[in-house]
């Protein structure tokens, strides 16, 4: 995958989140955590990570997944993977 | 186990070490459920932890008596074939018409939380195939790393050789430790942990939720068991800085450790504290699932 800017990553990630939560109004921010989105449980988390792996063509290790605490962490990880 | 070296962990909340303990929601992430049902997954949820795990909420749709045997066999086999599309079917069930997911290679069953009209069943089937493959990959990686403490509980008294077999299988994957959780008998203190071998610990909880009502958990002794197990398996050294810090006034804004959580919550043993909406979702989930006997 070609190098994406952070805003491009956010744009794609927003699509993934909107599909996962059936919410077209969802806007992501770096500090956003599971506490900020109703229904963001482990099942949704898996759905999000699977979609991210598929659409960004990356693979995450268990440790990388365990260290994700907020949307910003995920964006940073994606950027590192595709960079 | 009467023959075991009875190393009962003692928890002392006032010690310096306790002040260095992980916050409770981080502590429970050190553990991963292997079954036999979702009870420990709900304990994790009760303190706000939502780890990803294949067997946290999915379970073997088999009689309780043979779940451990089937688990050991599946782990021995690396859950090979899990996530193959042809092994997955979905079926809308009950008044809510929620899709239940059936996996035929290992007889796993779980809820999709998707209902008729929300998603095309074929799309859901493919999504679940991807999800199971993902969780299998994660499970095998976690087993290889040996950093998680694996948790097995059963409301039934199972032969010890089955537990030993599970430990053996886990050790074939990596440097793994099993926490075997049982209900405390008259001679056992709920919340205590006994080291059976280097790789096997036995924890005693006050009681298990009945299979027909899995959300009816009693998390307090579970959390004590987690803390005691973690202290035994991952001991931390306390240096002088730690002692000085421990003597300093407590900072109210820091996250609670397991013991602090328990002390503050000890006035009553309460079920988990999810949002009311979530509770009803999970109640209906478990009420509908036949395999939570």
Q: What is the pLDDT of residues B119-142, one digit of tens each?
A: 999 999 999 999 999 999 999 999
Does residue A72 lie within any of the structural domains? yes
* CB count in 10 Å sphere of residue B214: 23
Size of interface A-B (CB pairs under 8 A): 38
Q: Which residues of A touch B56 (CB under 8 A)?
A: 42
pLDDT, one tens digit per residue, over A27-82 is 999 999 988 999 888 888 998 999 999 999 999 998 898 889 899 999 999 999 99
Q: What is the average pLDDT value for chain B, to the nearest integer?
A: 82
What number is the ipTM of this complex?
0.81
Q: Please judge whether B135 and A46 are an interchain contact, meaning their C-beta atoms are less than 8 angstroms apart.
A: yes
Q: Does A1 lie at the interface with B, CB-CB under 8 angstroms?
A: no
Number of domains in chain A: 1
DSSP class of residue B47 equals T
Q: Supply the pLDDT for residue B281.
A: 35
Helix axes A42-56, A71-82, angle to 10 degrees: 20
A-facing residues of B in 134-153 (CB < 8 A) are 134-135, 138, 141-142, 145
B278, pLDDT greater than 60: no
B242, pLDDT greater than 70: no
Q: Which residues of A touch B45 (CB under 8 A)?
A: 41
Least confident window among B13-22, B45-54, B56-65, B282-291: B282-291
Does residue A1 lie within any of the structural domains? no
A30 and A14 in contact (C-beta within 8 Å)? no
Q: Which residues of A touch B130 (CB under 8 A)?
A: 50, 54
Does residue A10 lie within any of the structural domains? yes
Parent domain of A55:
6-82
B8, pLDDT greater than 60: no
Q: Supply the pLDDT for residue A48.
A: 95
A61: domain CATH number is 1.10.1200.10
Over residues B193-206, mean pLDDT:
97
B77 and B56 in contact (C-beta within 8 Å)? no
Alpha carbons B171 and B150: distance in angstroms, whole number: 11
Over residues B250-277, mean pLDDT:
48
Q: Does A54 lie at the interface with B, CB-CB under 8 angstroms?
A: yes
Q: Please judge whether B57 and A43 are an interchain contact, meaning their C-beta atoms are less than 8 angstroms apart.
A: yes
Per-residue confidence band for B112, with pLDDT thresholds at 50, 70 and 90? confident
Does residue A45 lie within any of the structural domains? yes
């Amino acid at each position: 995958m070609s190098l994406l800017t952070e805003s491009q990553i956010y744009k794609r990630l927003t699509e993934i989140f909107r599909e996962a939560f059936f919410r077209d109004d969802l806007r992501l921010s770096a500090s956003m955590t599971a506490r900020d989105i109703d229904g963001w449980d482990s099942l949704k988390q898996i759905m999000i990570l699977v979609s991210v792996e598929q659409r960004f063509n990356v693979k995450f290790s268990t440790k990388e997944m365990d260290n994700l605490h907020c949307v910003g962490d995920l964006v940073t990880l994606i950027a590192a993977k595709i960079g | 186990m009467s023959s075991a070296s009875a190393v009962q962990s003692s928890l002392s909340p006032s010690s310096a070490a306790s002040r260095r303990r992980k916050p409770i929601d981080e502590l429970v992430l050190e553990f991963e459920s292997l079954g036999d049902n979702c009870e420990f997954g709900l304990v994790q949820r009760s303190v706000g932890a939502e780890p990803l795990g294949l067997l946290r909420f999915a379970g073997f749709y088999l009689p309780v008596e043979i779940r451990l045997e089937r688990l050991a066999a599946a782990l021995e086999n690396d859950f090979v074939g899990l996530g193959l599309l042809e092994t997955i079917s979905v079926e809308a069930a009950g008044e809510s018409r929620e899709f239940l997911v059936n996996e035929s290679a290992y007889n796993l069953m779980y809820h999709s939380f998707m209902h008729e009209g929300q998603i095309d069943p074929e799309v859901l089937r493919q999504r679940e195939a991807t999800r199971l493959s993902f969780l299998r990959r994660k499970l095998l990686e976690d087993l290889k790393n040996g950093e998680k403490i694996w948790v097995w509980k059963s409301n039934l008294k199972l032969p010890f050789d089955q537990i030993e077999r599970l430990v053996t299988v886990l050790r074939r994957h990596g440097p793994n430790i099993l926490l075997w959780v049982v209900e405390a008998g008259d001679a056992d203190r709920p919340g205590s942990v006994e080291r059976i071998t280097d790789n096997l610990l036995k924890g005693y909880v006050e009681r298990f939720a009945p299979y027909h009502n899995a959300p009816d958990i009693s998390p307090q002794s579970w959390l004590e068991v987690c803390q005691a197990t973690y202290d035994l398996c991952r001991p931390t050294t306390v240096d002088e800085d730690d002692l000085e810090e421990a003597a300093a006034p407590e900072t109210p804004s820091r996250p609670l450790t397991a013991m602090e959580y328990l002390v503050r919550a000890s006035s009553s043993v309460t079920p988990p504290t999810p949002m009311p909406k979530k509770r009803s979702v999970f109640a209906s989930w478990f009420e509908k699932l036949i395999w939570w006997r």
